Amino acid sequence: MARVAVVGAGYVGATTAACLAHLGHEVVCADLDEDLVAALNRAEVPILEAQLPELIREGIAAGRLSFVVGAAKAAEGADFVFLCVNTPQGPGGEADLRYVEAAVSEIAPVLAPGTIVVNKSTMPVGSAATVRALLREAGVADGHVEVATNPEFLQEGTAVREFLNPSRIVIGVETEEAAVRLSLLYRKLQARIIVTDPVSAEMVKYASNAYLATRISFINSVANLCEAVGADVSDVALGMGYDPRIGFAALKPGPGYGGSCLPKDTAALLATAASAGYPFDHLRTTVEVNAAQRERVVEKLRAVAGGTLDGCPVGVWGLAFKAGTDDVRDSPALEIAARLVEEGALITAYDPAASPAAVASAAPAVKVVDDPYDACEGAWLLAVLTEWDEFRWLDFGRVAGLMAGSAVVDARNILDPDALRARGISYEGIGRR
Ligand code: NAD
Ligand code: UGA
C-alpha cells in the first residue's frame, strides 16, 4: 500500500484517485475548487462517469480516499504525487503549462525525500525535464525526488473501466528503482507495462491521440468520397474493419472529432513539430479535414433547408462531444448548433446529459429542452449531432407528426434510413445511401 497524492480532481484526477484507492492505496486528492472538493467528500460526483460515484463512495467509506483544497495538503508525506491538472491549448496551439507550474510550486516545499512526482496530465515532450527544473527553481535539490511520466489513455464516459483494465501502462523514468516502484503501484491490474525514458513516454501519448484523430479524419474523408461516388461508408468501414490489421476503433464517420483532448493534443503536437523544425504535414491535414468536416455538416443542413437557414426552426438531438458523457468542451455538436444560430436558424436542442448551464454559457441562443420530442415540435428539419443510443429507439411516427418539415440529417449515422423513409421522413447521413 502506498500513500498517493493526486493533484486535480477533474475527469482524470478523480478517476485516478478513486481507482488507486480501490486498488488498496491511501489517496488524498486535491483541487482548487472548494465546492467540488466538498461535493466529492460527500461522494457527490458532478460529472457523468460510469462507476465513479460507486468507487468514490467505497474509497471514502474504507477511509482510503479523501479530497482536500490545495495541492500541498495532499502532497505532504506522499510516496507519489500524481499531477492531473488541466493542460489547455495555448494561443499558438502549444500546451499551456501554467496549471502544472502552479501545482509544482505548491507541492515543492512539502515533498518528502524519495517521492516520485508523476506527470499524468498530457504534457509535451520535454515536460518531465521542465517539472524537474521547476522543482529545482522552487528549492528542491537534485536527487531529493524523482520525476516520472505516466500518461493516461482513458476515454471519458468509460474512464473507470479503462483505468482498471488498461490496454497498456506506459512509464517514462530515469531510474530502474522508479520503474519498479511505479509498476508495483499497479500490480493488482496485471496490465502490460512499457518502461521507457520520459521523452518517449510523452511522445507515446501525443502520437496515440494524433493517430486516433488521423483515423477519424481518414474515415470522414472516405465518407465524403462515398457521397461523391455513390458508395455507403457503413459497409465500407465494416469491410475495412474486419481486417485485423485495421480494426474498427476510431473508424466511425461523423461531424469530426471533438472533446477536451484530441483537438488540443493534435494542435500541441503540431506546435512541438514546428518548434523542432519538422513539418508534420500529415497531422496538419488531419486537423484541417476535421475543421472542414464540422463545416460540411452545416453545409448539408443549409442545403436540406433549401439554401438558407435564416429563420429556419431546427431540432437538434445531441450536444455532448460524444455519447456517454456530459462534457461539451470543444463539442462538434455544440459548435455546429452555434454555427446554425449564426446563420439565423432557431435551434431547440435535447441532450440526455449535457449540462444546460455549460450549453448556455457556450451557446446562449440555443434553447435546451428536456425531451427529445419537444426538440422536434415545429422543426423544419432535425439534426442528430451526438450518437446517444436512445435516439435509435424513439418513435419516428411521432417525430414525423411533430415536425413541420420532414428532413433528418443524421451526422452520426445512427438511425435506420429505411425506417425513417417508410414514415415519410427524408434521411441524409454522412457518406450513406
Ligand atoms: P479537468 O479540467 O476536468 O480537471 C483538471 C482539474 O485540475 C480541475 O478541477 C482544476 O480545478 C484542477 N486544478 C488545476 N490547478 C490545480 C492546482 N494547482 N491544484 C489542485 N487542482 C488544480 O481536466 P481533465 O479532463 O481531468 O484532464 C486533466 C489532464 O489529463 C489534461 O492534461 C488532459 O489532457 C489529460 N487527459 C484527459 C483525459 C480525459 O479524457 N479527460 C484523458 C487522458 C488524459
Ligand atoms: C480520447 C482518446 O480516445 C483517449 O485514449 C485519450 O486518453 C483521451 O482522448 C485524452 O487524451 O484525453 P476522449 O476524448 O474521451 O478520449 O474521446 P474519444 O472517445 O476518443 O472521442 C473523441 C472524439 O472523436 C469525439 O468527438 C467522438 O465523437 C469522435 N469520434 C470517435 C468519431 O468521430 N469517430 C470515431 O470512430 C471515434
Q: Look at residue 190 and tell me whether its pLDDT is greater than 90.
A: no
What mean pLDDT is predicted for residues 341-345? 97
pLDDT for residue 173: 98
Lining residues, ligand 1, CB within 6 Å: 7-13, 30-33, 71, 84-87, 99, 102-103, 106, 121-122, 152, 154, 156, 260-261
- Cα angle, residue 91 at apex, residues 133 and 118 outer, rounded to 5°: 35
Percent above pLDDT 90 for the chain: 98
- Chain segment 69-85, per-residue pLDDT in tens: 999 999 999 999 999 99
Instruction: Ligand 2, residue 154: give the atom nearest the CA.
Output: 7
- Mutation probe of ligand 2 site: the residue of 87, 246, 261 with most atoms within 8 A of C-beta: 261
CA-CA distance, 300 to 163, in Å (whole number)? 38
Element (H, E) at 384: strand 381-384
Q: Is 312 a catalytic residue?
A: no
Lining residues, ligand 2, CB within 6 Å: 122, 152-156, 209, 212, 216, 250-252, 254, 257-259, 261-262, 321-322, 332
- Mutation probe of ligand 2 site: the residue of 161, 204, 206, 216 with most atoms within 8 A of C-beta: 216
Q: 61 falls in which pLDDT band (50, 70, 90)?
A: very high
Q: Look at residue 341 and tell me whether its pLDDT is greater than 90.
A: yes
pLDDT for residue 355: 86
Percent above pLDDT 70 for the chain: 100
**Nearest bound ligand to the CA of residue 89:** 1
327 φ, ψ (degrees, to nearest 5): -75, 125
Between the CA of 82 and the centroid of ligand 1 the distance, in Å, is: 11
**Nearest bound ligand to the CA of residue 212:** 2
Between the CA of 181 and the centroid of ligand 2 the distance, in Å, is: 30
Between the CA of 73 and the centroid of ligand 2 the distance, in Å, is: 33
pLDDT for residue 356: 86
Between the CA of 155 and the centroid of ligand 1 the distance, in Å, is: 13
- Quick check: helix, strand or coil at residue 148? strand
Q: Look at residue 433 and tell me whether its pLDDT is greater than 90.
A: no
Long-range contacts formed by 203-207: CB under 8 A, 24+ apart: 203/125, 204/151, 204/170, 205/122, 205/151, 205/152, 205/153, 205/170, 205/265, 206/122, 206/124, 206/125, 206/265, 206/268, 206/269, 206/272, 207/269
Determine contact, residues 348/374, Cβ cutoff 8 Å: yes
When the pLDDT of each residue in the chain is averaged and rounded to a whole number, the result is 97
Determine contact, residues 148/171, Cβ cutoff 8 Å: yes
CA-CA distance, 360 to 377, in Å (whole number)? 21
Complete edge-to-edge strand list for the sheet that includes strand 80-83:
65-69, 26-31, 3-7, 80-83, 116-119, 146-149, 169-172, 193-196
Q: Rounded to two decimals, what is the model's pTM?
A: 0.97
Between the CA of 396 and the centroid of ligand 2 the distance, in Å, is: 29
Complete edge-to-edge strand list for the sheet that includes strand 346-350:
367-369, 346-350, 313-317, 381-384, 407-410, 426-428
- Chain segment 96-118, per-residue pLDDT in tens: 999 999 999 999 999 999 999 99
Q: What is the CA radius of gyration of the chain?
A: 23
Q: Look at residue 36 and tell me whether its pLDDT is greater than 90.
A: yes
Q: 7 falls in which pLDDT band (50, 70, 90)?
A: very high
Between the CA of 213 and the centroid of ligand 2 the distance, in Å, is: 8
394 φ, ψ (degrees, to nearest 5): -80, 165
Candidates 29, 261, 312, 376; catalytic one? 261
Instruction: Ligand 1, residue 30: give the atom nearest the CA.
Output: 20
- Under 8 Å CB-to-CB from 159, ≥6 apart: which residues? 11, 12, 15, 49, 50, 52
Q: Look at residue 279 and tell me whether its pLDDT is greater than 90.
A: yes
Q: 16 falls in which pLDDT band (50, 70, 90)?
A: very high
* Strand pairing category for 193-196 and 367-369: unpaired
